[in-house]
Chain A
Amino acid sequence: MEKLYKFLKYTFIILWTVFIVAPFLWAVSTSFKDFQSVNSKVTYIPWLDFEPTLEGWRVLVKSPARGGVDIVEPYFNSIFVTCTASLISIILGTLAAYALSRFTFKAGFVRNNDITFFFISQRIMPPIVLSIPFFIFLSTIGLLDSLLGLVVVYIVLLMPIAVWIMVDFFNRVPKELDETALIDGCNPYQAFYKVVLPNSIPGLIVAGMFCIIFGWIDFFFAFILTFTEVQLLPVKVVALNSSITPWWSLSASALISVAPLIIVAFVVERYLSKGNLSGALK
C-alpha cells in the first residue's frame, strides 16, 4: 500500500512536471528552428532532426531598417514602467494599508472595511470600463503615448493589490508590537519604520511580486494608451505576428519575456522559505 502510494505520488509529480516544462522545452527548441524545420515535418532534437539557427533570436535585436523587429527598447520600457509603478504602489499602498489596519476611519457610513473594499473594487471592474476614462485623462494632461503616462495608469492598477495584501498582513501583526515600540520610546513614525516594517518584509515581498507580475504581463492598457513613441514588450511581441507566423522569433521573445518573472519567482521563493513568515511574532 505504502509502495503503491509512493508510486502514484511520483507518477503524478512526473506527469505534472512534464505538463509544466514541456511548453518551455518546445519554445526553446522552436526558437532555434528556421522556416523549413517548423513547417515541413515534425522535428524534435537539434542537430539530429534539424540544424539549429540563431535567426529567431537575431531578429529580435536587429533594427527594423535591417529587417528585424528590435524588442530591446520595449523590453527596457517594460522593465522601467513595471519597476517604477510597482515601487510607488508598494510605498503608497503600504502606508495606506498600515493606516487602514491601525486607525479607525469614519466618514458618514464609510468605515475602514469599506475603504479597503473600495481599493479592491478597482480590480473587480473589467479593465475595458476604465479604458476610455484613462484615454481621455491621459490625453487631457498630455501624457498619452508616454512612459510617465503608463506609470501613472499602472500605479492605479497595482496599488489596490498592494493595499489588499498589506492590510491583511498588517492585521495579522499584533497591535502589541506597535504598542511595545511606543513604550520602548519610539514615536509613531519610528514604530512603523523601525519595528513594524522590518517585520513585514515577507508581506512586502509578496505584494511586490504580485505588482511586478501584474504590471509585466499587462497588454490591454499598454496597447490602448501607446502608439508609436513608446511601446511595451507585450504589445511588441504580439506585433511580431504577420501573415506567415514567425514561430521561431515568437518563441524566442516569449522566452525572454518570461525570464524576469522566473528570476523573481526563484529569488522570492528562496526568501520566503527561510521561515521569516512563520512564528515571527508569537
Chain B
Amino acid sequence: MAKIELSNISHSYNPNDLNPTYALNPFSMIWENGKRYAILGPSGCGKTTMLNIVSGLVKPSKGNVLFDDNDVTNLITEERNIAQVFQFPVIYSTMTVFDNLAFPLRCRNFSEEKIEERVKSVSDTLRLSTFLNMPARKLTADQKQLISLGRGLVREDVAAVLMDEPLTVIDPDLKFRLRRNLKEINEEYKTTLVYVTHDQNEAMTFADNIIVMDQGEIVQVGLPKDLFERPKTTFVGYFIGSPAMNLFETQLHSDNSVKINDTTIKTNTNLSKLKNNNIKLGIRSEFVKVAKDESENLLEVNIQKIEDFGNFKLLTAKMGQLTIKSKINRETEISNNTIKLHFPAEKCCVYQNNKLI
C-alpha cells in the first residue's frame, strides 16, 4: 500500500515522429493511500494508458511516477508490486484455480502455509472455494474474471490494485455484489483501488473520487456529488448523468443573469467580468421542476413527450428550437400542453468556451 504520485506525466506512442500525438497530455495527480478512485471517460481517452504507466507496462514519455515518494519510473513491472486486472479475463489455462490464485505469491517466494491461507481467504470472498482444484480453463467467463481479480487481491502488500473495466464480462447481479465486495476489501485491507470504467453508475457508486478524462486530458477530479452538480466543463455535464445536462446557448444579461431567447434566468454566478460570446447555461434535468408559485427563472415550454421510467417520469419540452429535459415525480400530473418550468438559480451553471465560470 502506498501513496501514488504522478508528476508531470505525459505519453506519446510515437514520440520520435515529427509531430508526435499524445495519448496523455501533461498532468499531475496524487492517489492517496487506501482510497477508491474511478477513472471515467469515453473509449480511447487515455484511461488504460494511465493505468499501464502506473503498473510499469508503459514507460511515460515524460514525467515521473512515485510510490510513497520513491521514484519508480524506471523500475520494471515486476519490481513495482502492483496488481492489475484487465477487461477480459486472463487466466493461466494450464493451471488449476488454486495455482492461478497462488501464482503471484509463488513468484514472490511466499511460504506454502501463507499461500494456502491467502488463497483460501480470497477464494472465500470471491466464492471460488468449490472450484479450487478444477482446471482454470473449464470455468465460465465470469468465473475466470473472478480468478483474475483474485490474483490481484491475493497479495496483501500491493501498492495498489488497478482494474481496467474488470466487470464488463460479468452479469449484472454478480457485478453489484462484486462492487460491494471490492468496497469491503478496500475498507478492510485499506488497499488503494483504481477502477477504470466508461459506466458512470459504476464510477459513482464505487469511488471516493472520480477522475473524468477526455481526449488525453484530465477534465475534472472530484467527488461524485461535485461532478454531478457542478461539472467543470460541458463535456463532464454531457458525459455524466442520464439524461445529459441541459445546455443552452445564451446571451449575458446582467451581472448575474443570462437570457435564453427572451427569458431572463438569474444565476448565483458573478458574470460581470465575462465577454459576451460563447456563453452556455447548464442545468441538470433533476433540478428543472414544473413551476408552482415561483415568480422568476420561469420558462414557458411546449411539452413534446413524457416517458415513464417507473421511478420517475422524463419530460421533454421545447421552447422555440431549444429542447429541455426534466425529471419529474411519477405523481405529477400534467394536463396542459403548455407549462412553465422553473430553473433554481443555485443549480444553474454558466459556461464560457465550455468551461465553468
Could you tell me which A residues sit within 8 Å of B by CB distance? 174, 176-177, 179-180, 182-187, 190, 195, 198-199, 201, 279-282
Known contacts A176-B86, A279-B137: A182-B76 contact under CB 8 Å: yes
CB pairs A–B below 8 angstroms (25 shown): A177-B90, A179-B57, A179-B84, A179-B86, A180-B151, A182-B56, A182-B57, A182-B78, A183-B82, A183-B83, A183-B104, A184-B107, A185-B78, A185-B81, A186-B107, A187-B76, A198-B92, A198-B95, A199-B92, A199-B93, A201-B94, A279-B137, A280-B137, A281-B91, A282-B89
Whether the pair B103, A184 counts as a contact (CB closer than 8 A) is yes
The reply on B273 being an interface residue by CB < 8 A is no
The reply on B55 being an interface residue by CB < 8 A is yes
Dominant SS among interface residues on chain A:
helix
3 closest A-B pairs by beta carbon, nearest first, are A185-B107, A280-B93, A184-B104
Whether the pair A183, B94 counts as a contact (CB closer than 8 A) is no
B6-25 CB contact bits vs A (8 Å, 1 = yes)? 00000000000000000000
Chain A residues within 8 Å of B88, by CB: 174, 176, 282
For B144, give the chain A residue with the smallest CB separation: A282
Q: Among the interface residues B81, B82, B104, which one has the most CB atoms of the partner chain A within 10 A? A: B104
A205 vs chain B, min Cβ distance (A): 14
Whether the pair A185, B104 counts as a contact (CB closer than 8 A) is yes
Chain A residues within 8 Å of B107, by CB: 184-186, 190
Chain A residues within 8 Å of B92, by CB: 177, 195, 198-199
A56 vs chain B, min Cβ distance (A): 47
Cβ-Cβ contact count across A and B, 8 Å cutoff: 60
The reply on B292 being an interface residue by CB < 8 A is no
For A200, give the chain B residue with the smallest CB separation: B94
For A183, give the chain B residue with the smallest CB separation: B84
In Å, the complex CA distance between A182 and B75 comes to 12
Could you tell me which B residues sit within 8 Å of A by CB distance? 55-57, 76-78, 81-84, 86, 88-95, 103-104, 107-108, 137, 141, 148, 151
Chain A residues within 8 Å of B148, by CB: 180
In Å, the complex CA distance between A183 and B92 comes to 13
In Å, the complex CA distance between A182 and B86 comes to 13
A69 vs chain B, min Cβ distance (A): 47
Q: Among the interface residues A176, A180, A279, A280, which one has the most CB atoms of the partner chain B within 10 A? A: A180
Chain B residues within 8 Å of A282, by CB: 88-89, 141
Chain B residues within 8 Å of A280, by CB: 93-94, 137
Whether the pair B78, A186 counts as a contact (CB closer than 8 A) is yes
Dominant SS among interface residues on chain B:
loop
A267 vs chain B, min Cβ distance (A): 19
Chain A residues within 8 Å of B76, by CB: 182, 187
A276 vs chain B, min Cβ distance (A): 8
Chain B residues within 8 Å of A183, by CB: 55, 57, 77, 82-84, 104
- CB < 8 Å neighbour of A281 from B81, B93, B104: B93
Instruction: Give 11 A-B pairs besides A176-B86, A180-B151 with Cβ atoms closer than 8 angstroms.
Output: A174-B88, A176-B90, A179-B57, A182-B76, A182-B78, A183-B57, A183-B82, A183-B83, A185-B78, A185-B104, A190-B107
Chain A residues within 8 Å of B104, by CB: 183-185
A199 vs chain B, min Cβ distance (A): 6
Chain A residues within 8 Å of B86, by CB: 176, 179-180
Chain B residues within 8 Å of A184, by CB: 103-104, 107, 151
Chain B residues within 8 Å of A176, by CB: 86, 88, 90
B85 vs chain A, min Cβ distance (A): 9
In Å, the complex CA distance between A281 and B88 comes to 9
In Å, the complex CA distance between A190 and B77 comes to 13
In Å, the complex CA distance between A198 and B86 comes to 21
Q: Among the interface residues A179, A185, A187, A201, which one has the most CB atoms of the partner chain B within 10 A? A: A185
B128 vs chain A, min Cβ distance (A): 17
Chain B residues within 8 Å of A195, by CB: 92
Chain A residues within 8 Å of B108, by CB: 185
In Å, the complex CA distance between A183 and B91 comes to 13
Chain B residues within 8 Å of A179, by CB: 57, 77, 84, 86
A182 vs chain B, min Cβ distance (A): 4
Chain A residues within 8 Å of B90, by CB: 174, 176-177, 180, 281
Chain B residues within 8 Å of A190, by CB: 107
Chain A residues within 8 Å of B78, by CB: 182, 185-187
In Å, the complex CA distance between A184 and B158 comes to 10
Chain A residues within 8 Å of B57, by CB: 179, 182-183
B92 vs chain A, min Cβ distance (A): 6
In Å, the complex CA distance between A267 and B50 comes to 47
Chain B residues within 8 Å of A182, by CB: 56-57, 76-78
A277 vs chain B, min Cβ distance (A): 11
In Å, the complex CA distance between A282 and B148 comes to 11
For B136, give the chain A residue with the smallest CB separation: A280
In Å, the complex CA distance between A195 and B93 comes to 9
For A177, give the chain B residue with the smallest CB separation: B90
In Å, the complex CA distance between A211 and B219 comes to 56
In Å, the complex CA distance between A190 and B57 comes to 16
B105 vs chain A, min Cβ distance (A): 8
For B52, give the chain A residue with the smallest CB separation: A179
In Å, the complex CA distance between A187 and B79 comes to 9
In Å, the complex CA distance between A179 and B48 comes to 13
In Å, the complex CA distance between A183 and B85 comes to 9
Chain B residues within 8 Å of A201, by CB: 94
For A282, give the chain B residue with the smallest CB separation: B88
